[in-house]
């Protein structure tokens, strides 16, 4: 029997849009022959997924699921080709199902996650391909994150599912006001998209890179070399306040920073609170979208 490697499975999956386990089974049946494996997938009713594999799926939804005591949360992104599909109730249900699965999963990566059983009794990858065949667009479970904490997790969905944010707070407090604050901070992250949570996370490479750019900017402005260094410190300080969540002015009350907001709440509830981690998914971020006019897009849907 041919040696079926993970790379072969990955290549077939990327080329056809079929599920990981389906690809593995097809490769085993085809004894490692990639072209024959593609034919097998088509023969088994996955041709629609295969035909659409080279299309760009950059629309879709993100979804959050949370356990009862706000100590475990999941965030998933599922993509579609058009926002029409993202508004489809069947698609919304599929995204919610995926988020519920992510809340319970121990999978470390998307391939293992897709291999897990959906509530329909088959692998999530198979359910995905069934939806592709039914809906008629390329769909993709792009990514997921599961966050577990001894503290509290707050979440926020913006724009009907365009942006999703989870905020982990290390605290002993179990107070509704703490969770409400966490949701406000998640809203801040959705709006401002900070690069870091705190200054402690800012790496030396980022500082060096920004210092170089700011120095060149100052010199290009004709500033004297002897005052450039002092100027750079001030400008870098201002920039760090923009890219670090805790340094930002709180959107609901710009007179206080997020750091001060957290400190005030900690004092109020009598328990330390630390914003430890933030996860932010925005639909389609990093995916290069094809420029198409509306008429062409509709025409494609009618094919």
Query: Which CATH number fits the domain that encloses residue 32?
Result: 1.10.8.10
- Which pLDDT belongs to residue 146? 98
Average pLDDT across the chain, whole number? 88
| Percent of the chain topping pLDDT 90 | 60
> Based on the domain organization, do 65 and 147 belong to the same domain?
yes
- Which pLDDT belongs to residue 302? 44
User: Is 169 in contact with 276 (CB distance < 8 Å)?
Assistant: yes
d(CA 244, CA 298): 42
pTM of the model: 0.76
- Which pLDDT belongs to residue 294? 44
Q: Give the pairing of strands 273-282 and 163-171.
A: antiparallel
d(CA 71, CA 2): 45
Count of Cβ atoms closer than 10 Å to residue 146 Cβ? 20
3-state secondary structure of 297: helix
- State the CATH number of the domain containing residue 88: 3.30.479.20
> Based on the domain organization, do 81 and 175 belong to the same domain?
yes
> Based on the domain organization, do 15 and 151 belong to the same domain?
no
> Based on the domain organization, do 24 and 63 belong to the same domain?
no
Domain that holds residue 15: 6-51
Count of domains for the chain: 2
For residues 60-64, average pLDDT: 97
- Which range (196-210, 223-237, 242-256) has the least confidence? 223-237
262 lies in some domain: no
- Which range (42-56, 58-72, 167-181) has the least confidence? 42-56
Q: In the structure, what pLDDT confidence band is assigned to residue 303 with cuts at 50, 70 and 90?
A: very low
Residue 140: is it exposed, middle or buried by C-beta count within 10 angstroms (0-12/13-18/19+)?
buried
Q: In the structure, what pLDDT confidence band is assigned to residue 214 with cuts at 50, 70 and 90?
A: confident
Scored b (16 or more CB within 10 A) or e, 65-78 reads: bbeeebbbbbbbbb
Q: In the structure, what pLDDT confidence band is assigned to residue 290 with cuts at 50, 70 and 90?
A: low
User: Is 157 in contact with 64 (CB distance < 8 Å)?
Assistant: yes
267 lies in some domain: no
Over 90: is that where the pLDDT of 235 sits? no
240 lies in some domain: no
d(CA 291, CA 303): 19
291 lies in some domain: yes
First to last CA, the chain: 40
> Based on the domain organization, do 68 and 173 belong to the same domain?
yes
- Which pLDDT belongs to residue 48? 52
151 lies in some domain: yes
246 phi/psi in degrees, rounded to 5: -65, -20
Residues 152-172 have pLDDT tens digits of 999 999 999 999 999 999 999
Over 60: is that where the pLDDT of 233 sits? yes
> Based on the domain organization, do 31 and 108 belong to the same domain?
no
Q: In the structure, what pLDDT confidence band is assigned to residue 298 with cuts at 50, 70 and 90?
A: very low
Q: Give the pairing of strands 163-171 and 249-250.
A: unpaired
284 lies in some domain: yes
Q: In the structure, what pLDDT confidence band is assigned to residue 174 with cuts at 50, 70 and 90?
A: very high
For residues 7-14, average pLDDT: 82
d(CA 216, CA 231): 12
> Based on the domain organization, do 41 and 65 belong to the same domain?
no
Residue 284: is it exposed, middle or buried by C-beta count within 10 angstroms (0-12/13-18/19+)?
middle
252 lies in some domain: no
């Amino acid at each position: 029997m041919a040696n079926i490697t993970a790379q072969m499975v990955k290549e077939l999956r990327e080329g056809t849009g079929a599920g990981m386990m389906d690809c593995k089974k097809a490769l085993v049946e085809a004894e490692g022959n990639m072209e024959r494996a593609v034919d097998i997938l088509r023969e088994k009713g996955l041709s629609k997924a295969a035909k659409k594999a080279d299309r760009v799926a950059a629309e879709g939804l993100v979804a959050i699921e949370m356990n009862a005591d706000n100590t475990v949360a999941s965030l998933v992104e599922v993509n579609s080709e058009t926002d029409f599909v993202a508004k489809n109730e069947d698609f919304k249900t599929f995204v919610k199902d995926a988020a519920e699965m992510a809340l319970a999963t121990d999978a470390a990566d998307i391939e293992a996650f897709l291999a897990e059983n959906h509530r329909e009794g088959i692998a999530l990858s198979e359910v995905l391909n069934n939806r592709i065949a039914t809906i008629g667009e390329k769909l993709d479970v792009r990514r997921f994150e599961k966050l577990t904490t001894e503290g509290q997790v707050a979440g926020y969905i913006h724009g009907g599912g365009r942006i999703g944010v989870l905020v982990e707070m290390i605290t002993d407090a179990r107070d509704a006001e703490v969770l409400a604050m966490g949701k406000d901070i998640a809203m801040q992250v959705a709006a401002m998209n900070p690069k870091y949570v705190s200054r402690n996370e800012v790496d030396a490479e980022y500082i060096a890179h920004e210092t170089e750019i700011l120095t060149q900017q100052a010199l290009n402005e004709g500033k004297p070399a002897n005052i450039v260094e002092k100027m750079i410190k001030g400008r870098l300080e201002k920039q760090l306040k923009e890219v670090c969540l805790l340094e930002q002015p709180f959107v609901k009350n710009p007179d206080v920073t997020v750091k001060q907001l957290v400190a005030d709440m900690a004092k109020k509830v009598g328990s330390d609170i630390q914003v430890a981690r933030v996860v932010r998914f925005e639909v389609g971020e990093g995916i290069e979208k094809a420029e198409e006019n509306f008429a062409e897009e509709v025409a494609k849907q009618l094919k």
